[in-house]
Amino acid sequence: MINVALLGHGVVGSGVAEIMTKSKESLSQKIKQDIELKYILDLRSFDNLPYSNKFIKDFNIILNDDSVKIVVEVIGGLHPSFDFVKACLEKGKSVVTSNKELVAEKGYELIKIANENNANFLFEASVGGAIPIIRPLTQCLLANEIEEVYGILNGTTNYILNKMIVDKMDFDSALKLAQENGYAERNPASDIEGTDACRKICILASLAFGKHVYPAQVKTKGITDITLDDIAYADKFNSVIKLIARAKREPGGKISAEVSPALIDKSAIISNVDGVFNAVVVKGDSCDDIMFYGRGAGKMPTASAVVADVLDCAKHLDARKYLSWDDAEDNYIIETTKPVRFYVLAKAKDYEALKQSFESEFKGISSCVYNTDKNEIAFITDFGKADELNSKLSRLKCDSLKTIYKMI
């Protein structure tokens, strides 16, 4: 009999409790051992559930019960999650979490503690909800040198952008609709400002490139200044705008990593990832592009990923999963050295001066729209070094200038 304790009975936690009680027998069959949810830690009380008898309010009961071999942390945030998880790992209990903030901020430290105490620390559900990505990255693609990993890692922003693209809804209305449908929180900052996507790319980049990437190291920009004009110009350039989190191998053992809106050509399959769906693309030297697509959030999708990790822990109580990375180094993350290009929207009261400077700086450019009605020019630059492009742009005679990364 393997006993499991659950920390937190929120959205994901209640899904985990549901699967583990309702499907107890089929899960036990799958791993050829009995597995049982023994405790649920939550400060609130939940009566009238078929498993109400499992609730406790004292973490120490779990910590000191040696029969509990696996602990599931789905409280979220760093406090008290970090202390709880650390204490469990130090006692040799394996821990499964869906807490992306915890893994992005403390992953290196917690994996180290897990290894020292012969326990596993698994977090498949922390990126992409139900989409299997952590395990494929660490196992299936092991024979590849990963060149790049990127994706649409936040369903809320993808839903909002999709509403702007398809229904021509402005940002505020789309956000309101997302909130009404339960896709965005009342305080949507961590989604729309890119923080959530940033945490997830930190986890993927740490795994793909072998050194911990902390959220503070990753330049992060959300979608709050994307307008319907940008969406319409992107469409003219056969592109859609998506919030893309990305990390790339750079020379000298460095990587680049960034979260920002990006234009994606409509021919790329990831441009068709709509609504609240997520997608992760992994580019390896042998496998080329592989994409993983599915529901990136939601109670049952995320809970099913957590439970799969629990089963994996149960099967490997005495074996370590090869899932680890080194600590970060100073200056590990640099600006990309690869050629880039931008979508640019330049406005000027003096349209003629803008036009002239544009034509002298960007002679022969093919993707551009002159909008004399609005005194603005939208265009896609050719590929170039970021600083050279920026210096060309600085010479445009304009009153306002907006640039968005043109990715594919």
For a second copy, the binding residue among 74, 85, 141, 213 (CB under 8 A) is: 141
72-80, 245-253, 297-305, 358-366 -> range binding a second copy (CB under 8 A): 297-305
23 binds a second copy (CB under 8 A): yes
93-101, 139-147, 328-336, 376-384 -> range binding a second copy (CB under 8 A): 139-147
SS3 349: coil
Cβ proximity to a second copy: between 292 and 371 the closer is 292
312 binds a second copy (CB under 8 A): yes
DSSP letter string, 119-174: --EE-GGGTTTTS--HHIIIIITTTS-EEEEEEE--HHHHHHHHHHHHH---HHHH
Q: Determine whether 321 is an active site residue.
A: no
Shortest Å distance, C-beta 268 to a second copy: 9
**Peptide linkage before 261 cis (omega within 30 of 0):** no
46 binds a second copy (CB under 8 A): no
Cβ proximity to a second copy: between 272 and 356 the closer is 272
Q: Count the alpha carbons within 13 Å of 345 in the hemisphere toward its beta carbon.
A: 19
- Residue 205 · residue 113 · CB < 8 Å: no
135 binds a second copy (CB under 8 A): yes
Measure the CA–CA gap between 349 and 96, rounded to whole angstroms: 57
Single-letter residue type at 272: N
30 binds a second copy (CB under 8 A): yes
Shortest Å distance, C-beta 310 to a second copy: 8
Cβ proximity to a second copy: between 23 and 371 the closer is 23
For a second copy, the binding residue among 38, 246, 254, 295 (CB under 8 A) is: 295
142 binds a second copy (CB under 8 A): yes
* Cα end-to-end span (Å), the chain: 51
408 binds a second copy (CB under 8 A): no
CA torsion sign, 127 to 128 to 133 to 137? negative
For a second copy, the binding residue among 68, 75, 102, 131 (CB under 8 A) is: 131
51 binds a second copy (CB under 8 A): no
Cα 308 to chain centroid, rounded:
19
Measure the CA–CA gap between 349 and 309, rounded to whole angstroms: 58
112 binds a second copy (CB under 8 A): no
Q: List Cβ<8 Å contacts ≥24 apart for 175-178.
A: none
Shortest Å distance, C-beta 323 to a second copy: 12
H/E stretch holding 387 reads helix 386-394
Report which of 151, 128, 171 is spatially closest to residue 305, judged by C-alpha positions: 128
H/E stretch holding 392 reads helix 386-394
118 binds a second copy (CB under 8 A): no
221 binds a second copy (CB under 8 A): no
Annotated catalytic residue, options 69, 100, 200, 406: 200
The site for a second copy (CB under 8 A) is made up of 15, 19, 23, 26-27, 30-31, 124, 130-132, 135-136, 139-145, 269, 272-274, 277, 284, 286-295, 300-301, 303-308, 310-312, 315, 319, 322
Residues forming the active site: 200
